[in-house]
Amino acid sequence: MKKIKIFFLTLLVINFSSFVSAQNAPESFADLAERLMPSVVNISTTQTIVTNVNPFPFQFPPGSPFEDMFKEFSTPQKRKASALGSGFIIDAKGIVVTNNHVIKDAEDIIIRVEGDTEYIEYKAKVIGADPLSDIAVLKIESNDKFLPVKLGDSDKARIGDWVIAIGNPLGLSGTVTSGIISARNRNIGLSRYEDYIQTDASINVGNSGGPLFNMEGDVIGINTAILGREGNIGIGFSIPSNSAKKVIDQLIEFGETKRGWLGVRIQQVTKEIADVEKLDEPRGALVASVAENSPSDKAGVKAGDIILEFDGTNIKEMTELPKIVAQTEVGKTVEVKIWRNKKELTKKITLGRLETSEDFMSERKETDHNISEIESLKITVRILSTKDIEDRKLPKNTSGLVITGIKKDSLLINYLRVNDIILEAQKNKIKSIEDLEIVVNNVLQSDEKTILFVIYNNQNQRRYIGIKLD
């Protein structure tokens, strides 16, 4: 299992409020902000969450023979949950770009657009969404004409350039913030296609999916993530516009993405590996395994090969290869230079489509296991994946939630640890976030307020832990 990073990554939008003192700083962003404001939208979503309500004025103790009767007679109660985000208009017909995590599982999507005197609300529908890049495209359900902005060339953005963001942090519509580009080509472990622009912007809930503008008013990034437990610490990340363009175009045209696929699993070429393989320096991508009947397998690529060049592009770092392959047309035959047995070889490979491959099916499962917060317990969790089961050598039919974070004021802080796996709660198997939330809500509504967990600890030892939730 991949190591859990010591920092907490929150998928929220970037709100630039840090103001860096620098020479030649703009006297004001007012004219630029006024021009761009009508193109930035606020997005609110709703979804239905079902919980079970105890019909009795008491609760049977865990293990009681009447416990099943309680479950039988308990009544499901529906409630609406809402979320806020941001987006921006790229077409006068009302085409809106945002983050996938902003609209994921939404039943209703409302978009608010700045009018002459007040915000105007519209319903919107999803044209297409891509969890791997965290990009979604929406269509405002109206015949009105809207003011679009242009996707700029993010490759021209330089470290130190001024940028502004407009969004909906904490529900505060039309918030304009500023900052600079702090770094380029950042990889923070959210997906295989990472190439983030790092900024010193302040980021808060509700800014996700909003635009990062250069001083010409072009969108050079989609604000996506922050680094920090409690919100802004001056480190935020945006998806570069050049990385997003092809995804957006495909979602508009097809409603889905069509990525190139090699069918290899790769790892970094270390200095030690380069020395053993007599490679001049650590570079390229080491093939750890080749999927059976994949394009690479058919072309004769083998585990242990080092991919040095793909379709005329030198591969300096392992992380470069997936992004280049994904952006290459499905069905295209490309030349791939590899290093094998201390010499360079060339293979011709006809790319498959990632979305129809076995690799993608397993990756979708992994990607869908997003980190979620259980507010009542003050912990964050994700669904146990097949990779977790393999890495930790657990029984194949194991299901549960992996604890990814525990707040200092959580009641569980002295009982559970990060990477513990919650298998059961109140003798109910936990297979989803909703399963745990339902059990916790029932316990909190009871008189005893004691919850019994069954977990696997970090040593994969099965343990029973009872905790009072008051």
Domain boundaries, given as residue ranges, for the chain = 9-25+150-254, 38-140, 260-356, 369-468
Burial class (CB in 10 A: 0-12, 13-18, 19+), 461: exposed
Q: Scan for tokens 């085409």, then name that residue.
A: 95
| pLDDT recorded at residue 188 | 76
The pLDDT, as a whole number, for residue 24 is 61
Known catalytic residue at 178: no
Name the pTM for this structure: 0.67
How long, in residues, is the chain? 470
How many Å apart are CA 14 and CA 220, to the nearest integer? 13
Q: 134 an active-site residue? A: yes
Residue 71: per-residue pLDDT = 54
Catalytic residue, from 208, 241, 294, 372: name it: 208
The residue annotated as part of the active site, out of 86, 130, 134, 241, is 134
The parts of the chain modelled with pLDDT lower than 50 are: 1-23, 60, 62, 366-368
260-356: what fold? Pdz3 Domain (2.30.42)
> What's residue 53's pLDDT?
57
As a CATH number, domain 38-140 is 2.40.10.10
In CATH terms, the fold of domain 9-25+150-254 is Thrombin, subunit H (2.40.10)
pLDDT of residue 2: 43
Examine domains 9-25+150-254 and 38-140 and report if their fold is the same.
yes
What is the rounded distance in angstroms from the CA atom of residue 204 to the CA atom of residue 168? 9
Looking at CATH, the fold of the domain delimited by 369-468 is given as Pdz3 Domain (2.30.42)
What is the model's pLDDT at position 3?
43
Q: What tokens does 390 get?
A: 């393999």
Question: What is the rounded CA–CA span in Å between residue 174 and residue 163?
Answer: 16
Judged by DSSP in three states, 347 sits in: strand
Give CA–CA dist 244/171, Å, rounded.
25
Among 18, 101, 238, 359, the active-site one is 101
**369 annotated active-site:** no
pLDDT at residue 262, as a whole number: 94
